[in-house]
Amino acid sequence: MASFAPSPSSNGISGNSNTHYGPALIVLTSLFFMWGFITCLNDILIPHLKTIFDLSYTQVMFVQFTFFTAYAIVSLPSGMLVEKIGYKSGIIVGLLTAAVGTALFYPAAGFRSFEVFLLALFVLASGITLLQVAANPYVAVLGSSETASSRLNLSQAFNSLGTTVAPVFGSILILSMVVKGADELAKLSPSEQEAYKLAEASAVQNPYLLLTAMLVAIAVIIAMFKLPKIETATSTSGAVAGSLEDQHTSAWGYRHLVLGAVAIFVYVGGEVSIGSFLVNYFKELLNMPEAEAGTYVSLYWGGAMIGRFFGSITLSGMTDQKKKKLYVAAVFVLALVLALYITKEYQNLVAFSLDGFGKTLMFIALVALNFLAFNMGNRKPGRTLAILAFCAALLVIISMLTNGMVAMWSILAVGLFNSIMFPTIFTLAIDGLGRHTGQGSGILCTAIVGGAIIPVIQGMFADSIGIHHAFILPVLCYGYIAFYGMKGHIIHRAR
């Protein structure tokens, strides 16, 4: 892969080229975990709000529309802000802004106002947008340019750890609350209605107040932590980078960046659309209780975590085969533990029973297929991206054409193949931008608005043709991503 960021000695990081960036990377990775956790809680919030406010699929998808619209509005101003105040200060401001957003959930639940919920989501997403604009390029330049994709994949794996934990957390604290309709509430006495409303509000208030405290605490830690100072990115290789930088006066002039922005748009839109509908999809498909369906959402996002660990290993250029095999084995063990916990088949182990591991074995077989796909990519990011996108599209089609457990497991497996799409598209799209890297990062983060638009369109499809066949939209998204992996990311260099 052509390098998009400079080597440590010329990557815009102040200080000695031999600097060890491990501690800084660990601190930044905690941010990836937090915004993954918060973003994925929307998948649990959606069915809860749908029931409380008696919304249609189209109406409730305004949760995602509001959240991801913030990326379109805030990304470019965030890029300019980061240039003025620096990456570290930008991260701190982003954390505190997100904390204000989570705190607003308290009055939103107390007043039972869908509009205040949407306001809280917009403020929260604005803070997360600023975090992404600052943290993604920061991680990319913290080390060798050759391993930038692997490094970003590793950080994104912890982002997926957050998305894996969030549905379990939300299902226990939010979806376990049995929501009563207006008719049921009318049958209760005034005192019972008041007690119920307080309990319903606290189901949302307490978790988000806890998140507020965590965001503020991380902001304080980062303020006290000495992070390497990075400056405007410069090019690695004078001849190649120079021709690229001189070719255009703006990042918009780079074809592979513009096509990459479209790829980010459809990737986020497709991924969020699937995650947003899973609880209701499983409820309709298998008559599964919402709280149980919410825990299975963890396998969708957990699959992304597993795949990102595979991506970090296979794209890193690791030469120690013994160590590589050990890491791969550890990822398979992690997948096994995750599947046993979510399916509750670990109970059979406790009972010393060898029966009833079908769901876990199904997930492990899909994990093995995912690992095979990574190896077929042969350490080439573009090729790997195309293969995974093709597999994701095929799995969604299978889910649309089947019912029962086959439909459920095929749609859950899409998470495995989503895994490295965002960081790989991101690194391919800003490859060779040199001094335009900051602007390019802002453009790509703006494209995350796909998570606002595509779920609403899919909601319209679900209301008109049914939730089962509404998944045709993500299929089209993955088709475009496969094109970008094969052809769209290729840089047209000046002669």
Percent of the chain with pLDDT over 70: 80
Mean local confidence (pLDDT), 244-264? 81
> Nearest Cα to 308, choosing from 361, 370, 262, 380?
370
User: Taking 50 as the threshold, does the pLDDT of residue 15 lie above it?
Assistant: no
User: Taking 50 as the threshold, does the pLDDT of residue 4 lie above it?
Assistant: no
Q: What is the pLDDT of residue 120?
A: 94
Task: Provide the mean pLDDT of the chain.
Answer: 81
Task: Please give the structure tokens belonging to residue 37.
Answer: 């956790």
User: Taking 90 as the threshold, does the pLDDT of residue 179 lie above it?
Assistant: no
Percent of the chain with pLDDT over 90: 32
Q: What is the 3-state secondary structure (H, E, C) of the chain?
A: CCCCCCCCCCCCECCCCCCCCHHHHHHHHHHHHHHHHHHHHHHHHHHHHHHHCCCCHHHHCHHHHHHHHHHHHHHHHHHHHHHHHCHHHHHHHHHHHHHHHHHCHHHHHHHCCHHHHHHHHHHHHHHHHHHHHHHHHHHHHCCCHHHHHHHHHHHHHHHHHHHHHHHHHHHHHHHCCCCCCHHHHHCCCHHHHHHHHHHHHHHHHHHHHHHHHHHHHHHHHHHHCCCCCECCCCCCCHHHHHHHHHHCCCHHHCHHHHHHHHHHHHHHHHHHHHHHHHHHHHHHHHCCCHHHHHHHHHHHHHHHHHHHHHHHHHCCCCCCHHHHHHHHHHHHHHHHHHHHHHHCCHHHHHCCCCCCCHHHHHHHHHHHHHHHHHHHCCCCHHHHHHHHHHHHHHHHHHHHHCCHHHHHHHHHHHHHHHCCHHHHHHHHHCCCCHHHHHHHHHHHHHHHHHHHHHHHHHHHHHHHHCCCHHHHHHHHHHHHHHHHHHHHCCCCCCC
| Of the candidate ranges 199-213, 286-300, 347-361, 382-396, the one whose mean pLDDT is the lowest | 347-361
> Nearest Cα to 140, choosing from 310, 335, 338, 5?
5
| Of the candidate ranges 19-28, 43-52, 67-76, 356-365, the one whose mean pLDDT is the lowest | 19-28
Residues in contact with 336: Cβ distance below 8 Å, sequence separation at least 6, in sequence order: 360, 364
Q: How would residue 49 be classed by pLDDT, with cut points 50, 70 and 90?
A: confident
User: Taking 70 as the threshold, does the pLDDT of residue 20 lie above it?
Assistant: no
Q: Is the dihedral of CA 158, 161, 166, 169 positive or negative?
A: negative
* Type of residue at 206: N
Q: What is the pLDDT of residue 25?
A: 77
Taking CA atoms, 202 is separated from 54, 106, 235, 290, 306, in Å, by 19, 8, 52, 18, 33
User: Taking 90 as the threshold, does the pLDDT of residue 101 lie above it?
Assistant: yes
> Nearest Cα to 334, choosing from 358, 282, 370, 280?
370
Burial 432-457 (b: 16+ CB within 10 A, else e): bbbebbbbbbbbbbbbbbbbbbbbbe
More confident residue, 190 or 456: 456
Whole-structure pTM value: 0.76
Q: What is the pLDDT of residue 111?
A: 83
| Of the candidate ranges 155-169, 295-309, 318-332, the one whose mean pLDDT is the lowest | 155-169
- pLDDT per position as a tens digit, 233-252: 444 333 333 445 456 677 88
Residue recorded with tokens 């895994």: 419
Residues in contact with 192: Cβ distance below 8 Å, sequence separation at least 6, in sequence order: none
User: Taking 50 as the threshold, does the pLDDT of residue 109 lie above it?
Assistant: yes
CA angle 245, 251, 253 (to 5 degrees): 85
124, 67 contact by CB (below 8 A): yes
477, 269 contact by CB (below 8 A): yes
* Type of residue at 372: L
User: Taking 80 as the threshold, does the pLDDT of residue 203 lie above it?
Assistant: no
Q: How far apart are CA 1 and CA 18, in angstroms?
A: 23
> Nearest Cα to 169, choosing from 38, 363, 18?
38
Mean local confidence (pLDDT), 109-119? 88
Q: What is the pLDDT of residue 323?
A: 87
- pLDDT per position as a tens digit, 316-368: 767 778 888 999 999 999 999 999 988 888 777 665 555 567 888 999 999 99
* Type of residue at 99: A
| Of the candidate ranges 171-185, 226-240, 278-292, the one whose mean pLDDT is the lowest | 226-240
More confident residue, 132 or 153: 132
User: Taking 50 as the threshold, does the pLDDT of residue 490 lie above it?
Assistant: yes
> Nearest Cα to 290, choosing from 50, 470, 109?
50
Q: What is the pLDDT of residue 31?
A: 84
Domains of the chain: 22-488 (1.20.1250.20)
- pLDDT per position as a tens digit, 423-449: 889 889 988 887 787 788 778 878 888
